[in-house]
Structure 1
Amino acid sequence: MLMPKMLTTRVSLRVLRSSRALSSARSRVKIIGSDDAYTQIATEGSGRKAIVYFTAKWCPPCKMIGPIYDELSAKYEGIDFAKLDVDELNDTTSKAGVRSMPTFFYFKDGKFQQSLSFSGADEELLRNNVKQLNDM
Structure 2
Amino acid sequence: MSDIIHTDKAPSPVGAYPHARRVGNLLFLSGIGPRTPGSDAIPGNEYDTDGRLVGYDIAAQTRSVFANVRAVLEASGARWEDLVDVTVYLTDMARDFKTYNALWAEHFPDPATAPCRTTLGIDALPTPIAIELKCIAHLP
- Same fold (TM > 0.5): no
The two structures have a TM-score, normalised by structure 1, of 0.28
Higher Rg of the two aligned structures: 1
The two structures have a TM-score, normalised by structure 2, of 0.28
Higher helix share: 1
